[in-house]
Amino acid sequence: MTLLSSYQIQSLAPSPLQCLSFSHQPNNPKPCLPLKTMPKPIHFSLVIAKSHQHHHSNPQTKSQDDGIPIDDVKTIVRFKSRYNYIRVLEVSRKADHPFAGSRLLLLDAPGNIHSISFRSKLLTQTYFDVFATLPPILPPGPIGILGFGAGSAASLILKLYPEVVIRGWELDPSVISVGREYFGVSKLENEYQDRLFIYIGDALKASTRDGFSGILVDLFSKGSVIPELQDPNTWVMLRKCLRKGGRVMVNVGGSCVEAEDSGRDGKVVMEETLKAMSDVFGGKVLVLSLGNRDEDSSLALTGPMPDLDSWKKMLPRSLMGYVDMWIPFTS
């Protein structure tokens, strides 16, 4: 197959959620969108292929590296809200790709994916699956999700842990509206009326009586981790929102995340965010690298290293592999 106009999504093994967007060149009647993922993806990054590419695929050896023809990707919604450039994409069930049958939520011009859902399976093979490993190592109490998006993390946690209560914050009401209409958030709200509470407003002002047992942070603006997360004062404030023994798990991004502002280098922003966290949490910050290349991305977890064997025993088998990937952060 010859790809004349394409966007190549690089995987951040061993588990990525990446970025996309589209372009068309005049002589390319059927452009393709090649998405690259490893067997267990966690965060996705976008590389624009400006020159002609040739991608040869043997039908008998197809893998996740094969592109998805644009005919298998449909744009359902596209509009600009006050805060975001919102797009909802749907990948055909017939597509020969791990994203087959999924819906993707994009919130910025570069096309970083903020949420994903599948019609026929629970786990996403993205960093949201790592978020779903957090509840077993938390004390009792509600979990806050800062950057609720279309509810990818909330859906996983509510279905995997019957006792967990989630309080989610999202700045943009349009994102919640899209989540309700196209990603099943309304169904979640109806099914878990006493366990899911969504608030529109500044996530950094989130609070709950007696504090959160855990906080998931997935806050991006214009394709970059928000600047407030590079400020130690933000982490002082979030630490005060935790109960004794509580933890924070954060998507800290990386070079794979493409910002609208070219001056916001993803790797530098990630390092500055980790440094700010470490300063506030006394060096007790763990990092899960989503791959082994310079453009890969990471998650961070506050607190000491948990008992890994005990943690695994409390997780579904499909999530156990993430536990061994955490290492102490060193600045």
User: What's the CATH architecture for 127-328?
Assistant: 3-Layer(aba) Sandwich (3.40)
Contact between 206 and 166 (Cβ < 8 Å): no
Q: What is the pLDDT of residues 79-117, one digit of tens each?
A: 999 999 999 999 999 988 888 899 999 999 888 889 999
Three-state SS for 220-277 is: EECCEECHHHHCHHHHHHHHHCEEEEEEEEEEEEECCCCCCCCCCCHHHHHHHHHHHH
Structure tokens at 175: 């994102």
Residues in the chain: 331
Give the contacts of 303 (CB within 8 A, at least 6 positions apart): 247, 281, 284, 286
- Residue with tokens 């695929």, as numbered in its chain: 57
- Residue with tokens 């407030």, as numbered in its chain: 228
Output the pTM of the full model: 0.81
Give the whole-angstrom CA distance, residue 180 versus residue 187.
8
Give the whole-angstrom CA distance, residue 149 versus residue 153.
9
Task: Give the pLDDT confidence score for residue 266 in this predicted structure.
Answer: 84
Nearest to 68 by CA among 86, 89, 39: 89
SS3 category, 124: coil
Q: Is the pLDDT of residue 20 over 90?
A: no
Give the whole-angstrom CA distance, residue 196 versus residue 189.
6
> Which residues are paired to 104 by β-bridges?
89, 116
Contact between 24 and 134 (Cβ < 8 Å): no
Q: Is the pLDDT of residue 219 over 60?
A: yes
Give the whole-angstrom CA distance, residue 18 versus residue 90.
15
Q: What is the pLDDT of residues 154-208, one digit of tens each?
A: 999 999 999 999 999 999 999 999 999 999 999 999 999 999 999 999 999 999 9
Give the whole-angstrom CA distance, residue 194 versus residue 229.
31
What does the DSSP 8-state code read for residue 99? T
The confidence band for 1, taking pLDDT boundaries of 50, 70 and 90, is very low
Give the contacts of 312 (CB within 8 A, at least 6 positions apart): 320, 323
Domain ranges in the chain are 70-118, 127-328
